[in-house]
A and B are shown apart, each in its own frame.
Chain A
Amino acid sequence: MFAIARSELIQIFRNRLVLVTGLIIPVAISAYFVYQHELFADQASLGYIAAVVVFTVMAFGLYATSVTTLASRRQNLFLKRLRSTAAGDADILTGLILPVTVIALVQVVAILAVFGLVTTAPAEVLLLAVAILATLAMMVGLALATAGLTNSPEHAQVTTLPISLLVIAVASWVGIAGTEDLTVLKRALPGGSATELMVDAWNGGVPLADSLPLLAPTLAWVVVAISLASRMFRWEPRR
């Protein structure tokens, strides 16, 4: 697993396209949100900025990059090559996804740390961490599922758009409009409950007992994403 992860890390830093889409774009967008935090806080809250930063990094840095990587590795039969070794499927997938996942997590932690220093620290760090980790797991699952529908790295530019835009749109809708109306719908959408958790965790003022039930739909989306991944992921190109 670590041998695969190491080789993936080498490839990320040798591939300018992946570097730009996976590292630079999410950081640039997040930096803009942090820089303009007063403007966005007026329209919503600091918690909204935290949530939209997390979803931007997860959508572009983790999800889109993972789909592109997996489609590319399948297209050039690298996945088949790895399956010709003694490595198990779980080890192979973990090794392939691990570098992108760790980079995305480091980006989120670093950006939120700066954001916390520039503004105020989150009220419930543990709850925020759980929401971020659940979002990360959901996006990894969705990446594996989407990779099953993606024939090539070029095709990934199209197939990743719906989910990338959807989760950022949901985060913005829930973060700006709140969940007082259309509560069930907003919480049922992918990333909806996770956004509400992040907003609550950053802003504070909501009893923990009121926030904890939001973990159920958040984790349900993790289960749905992993279930979709196990059904849709393909190891070899279609013939």
Chain B
Amino acid sequence: MYRRENNSPMPKSILAVAAILAILGIGSWIYQLIVGMQVTGLDNNVVWGLYIAFFFVVIGGGAALLAIVGISEFKNILSPDSKSRILLLSITTFIGGGILITIDLGNPIQVFRIATSFKFQSLLVWDFWLLALCFFLALFYLVKVRKDNSGGKVYGLISIAAALFLIVAESFLLSSMLGHHLWESGMTLISFLISAAVVGSAFILLLMPDNRTVRNILLATLVFSLIATLAEVFTGALTGNPETKTEMMLLLSGQGALYFWGQVLIGLILPLFLLLKSYKPIAIALLSIFGTLMGKVWLLALGQWVQGSLVYIPSLPELITIIGTSGIGVLLYGVLVKAFEPKASPKAEQTKMSVA
């Protein structure tokens, strides 16, 4: 049985706020383009920062959305309208990820160069093409769902596989970097899969705040994420090699503590508490996404940390650009929802009636 879903267009007030944030973000990006990457908190030690962390969060979430729609072909958990909305959000996240990479590269033409190099020896090229594949899959899936109310089992299976490959490629991208022992363990893949599931279910909760299944899935993924995060950090701090131990102590009580405790307390325990005690779906979803972002920031910052240097702190232009990108994402989703308004096809109507 389908539950009540938030299929109404996005309120204008939210779109207005998103537009202001988007303008601020674009302004900050232009400033970065003119002055150079020196306006970021990055340096020659820490070369991947907030933009890449947010990219991992957003793309992981988008891939999870695509996978969930794929799963719904085997288990009847989503209505056609919900599938459309989720696919639209998935498409938005993939476009958002593309924007983030463009910002990180500092020049839009650079993305074109990745697309035309076809150097599949590089995992970055794999990541690019898997992202493109997931984007087009989501797009065609959307067209199919709007036409036939369903993508079919084969399409569902392909979508699940593509989404999984994308998340795996991103975790391998980090793991394959030599000399960064924090990223070399299998925990990187596990944490990428769990965080994708957290963000994906948080995204769906934003669309379907009253859906009990989504609520339970988010609850489960948050618990898994909490266990995995604490296990990784405390294992490293208590039994790891001296290098790992130093890094984990930095996370627990040093310069990285803000990120770690931010993730654990604000991004994991607080949403768990809210899920169990006083249900506030929007806050829960946003806190879960924030927590995942904090987790990715410390993973990147600590993985690149070198003895004697300060732990990476994002600069103000970086923060504004990230908030602006989120604004662009909200606007884009609003536009896409408007453009792909669920049409009342005879088949869809029939399904709605049978459900009622």
Is A bound to B? no
Q: Which residues of A contact B (CB under 8 A)?
A: none
Q: Which residues of B contact A (CB under 8 A)?
A: none
